[in-house]
């Protein structure tokens, strides 16, 4: 980790402090919450952006990232793999829905309980808690590439179960509502299929788990 550096501009002292894991803290002395206000904010986009800053800082911007470590272990290995790039994009695409919905549930938990009661879920408060933890925790894990195989497998099962609970189109009379529920149910099935494919393929090279393993092997 590089030491903190200071600079002066316009008579005021600011600082840029290198952090070992997540981000660079930018601000003036005494502004302890500046980073939190900039990164987290109140919207889902800021939260997802923060996760990708964490991933970039630990995987892509590190001098000992997985590509370098892999090249040390196998000099003939191509460090730019279309498969790994595709898995990286797939993880982001599949996690985006869970991050968005999980963050929404966490920031409006009372509304989440009310929604669970409206859909007829048993024990609405417990169902809301489980849904929030699974969606937000699973989305974060997929984004960062942590325990991807078990997490993706669990999310595949979760998506099928929630589809059967929340989008049971077979109980509706023919019409617009049945059509809408049918679309949402089969979307859930498609997402579950993508999760199973990701579980079988693994996280790929650009993941925190793989970086940790490569660091140990190196």
What's the pLDDT tens digit per position in 201-216? 999 888 886 554 444 4
Confidence band for 56, pLDDT divided at 50, 70 and 90: low
pTM higher than 0.85: no
Q: Residue written as tokens 């889902």? A: 44
Longest dimension (CA), the chain: 72
pLDDT attached to residue 81? 83
pLDDT in tens, 154-182: 999 999 999 998 888 999 999 999 999 99
Q: Is the pLDDT of residue 218 over 70?
A: no
Q: Provide the residue ranges of all domains of the chain, joining segments of one domain with +.
A: 5-39, 81-217
The owner of tokens 């942590």 is: 146
How far apart are alpha carbons 95 and 196 in whole angstroms?
Answer: 13
pLDDT tens, 133-145? 999 999 999 999 9
Q: Tell me the range of 3-7, 16-20, 155-159, 161-165 where mean pLDDT is highest.
A: 155-159
Q: Sign of torsion, CA 143 144 145 150? A: negative
Burial 2-26 (b: 16+ CB within 10 A, else e): eeeeeeeeeeeeeeebeeeebbebe
Beta-carbon contacts of residue 114 (< 8 Å; ≥ 6 apart): 124
- Give me the mean pLDDT over the 32-60 stretch: 53
- C-alpha torsion 159→164→165→168, nearest 10: 140
Q: Residue 133: what pLDDT? A: 96
Determine the Cα–Cα distance for residues 139 and 91; give it in Å rounded to an integer: 9
């Amino acid at each position: 980790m590089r030491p903190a550096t200071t600079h002066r501009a316009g008579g005021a002292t600011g600082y840029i402090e290198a952090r070992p894991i997540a981000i660079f803290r930018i601000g003036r002395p005494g502004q302890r919450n500046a980073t939190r206000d900039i990164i987290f904010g109140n919207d889902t986009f800021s939260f997802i952006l923060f996760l990708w800053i964490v991933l970039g800082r630990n995987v892509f911007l590190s001098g000992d990232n997985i590509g370098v470590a892999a090249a040390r272990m196998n000099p003939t290995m191509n460090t730019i793999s279309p498969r790994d790039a595709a898995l990286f994009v797939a993880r982001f695409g599949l996690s985006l829905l869970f991050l968005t919905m999980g963050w929404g549930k966490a920031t409006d938990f009372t509304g989440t309980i009310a929604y669970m009661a409206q859909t007829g879920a048993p024990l609405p408060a417990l169902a809301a808690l489980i849904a929030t933890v699974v969606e937000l925790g699973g989305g974060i894990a997929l984004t960062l590439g942590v325990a991807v195989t078990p997490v993706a497998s669990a999310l595949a099962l979760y998506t099928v179960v929630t589809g059967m609970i929340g989008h049971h189109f077979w109980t509706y009379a023919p019409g617009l509502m049945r059509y809408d529920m049918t679309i949402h149910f089969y979307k859930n099935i498609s997402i579950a299929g993508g999760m199973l494919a990701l579980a079988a393929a693994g996280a790929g090279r650009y993941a925190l788990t793989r970086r940790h393993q490569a660091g140990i092997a190196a």
